[in-house]
Amino acid sequence: MDMLTPKPFLSSITGKKVIVKLKWGMEYKGYLVAVDRYMNLQLHSTDEYIDNCFTGSLGEVLIRCNNVLYIRECEDDSKTDMD
């Protein structure tokens, strides 16, 4: 497994569908629009999942960097990933 530093990794997934898990357990699935120099995230067409259950569509979301546990590229565009 090759390790990537954060900035090149985030640049490589910008514009793609991602899953962001927060420290508090919530997960957000949406398209990564932008990342700033502090690594805050902007997502659009975002869905929220709590305890792996779909709770609703949120649309545009901003996530502060210190709340993120991990971010990964979404391999499948269907909602059944986390249901």
User: Would residue 33 count as lying in a domain?
Assistant: yes
Residue 29: alpha-carbon gap to chain centroid: 5
Question: Domain for residue 79, yes or no?
Answer: no
| Inside any domain, residue 41 | yes
Question: Taking Cα atoms as reference points, which of 81, 77, 72 lies closest to residue 53?
Answer: 81
In a domain, 50, yes or no: yes
Domain count, the chain: 1
Owning domain of residue 58:
6-74
List the CATH number of the domain containing 10. Answer: 2.30.30.100
Q: For residue 62, what are the CA distances in angstroms to 2, 14, 23?
A: 28, 14, 15
Taking the whole predicted model, whether its pTM rises above 0.75 is answered as yes
Over the chain (83 residues), the average pLDDT of each successive run of 10 is 80 95 96 95 98 96 96 73 45
Give domain status of residue 21, yes or no: yes
In-domain check, residue 80: no
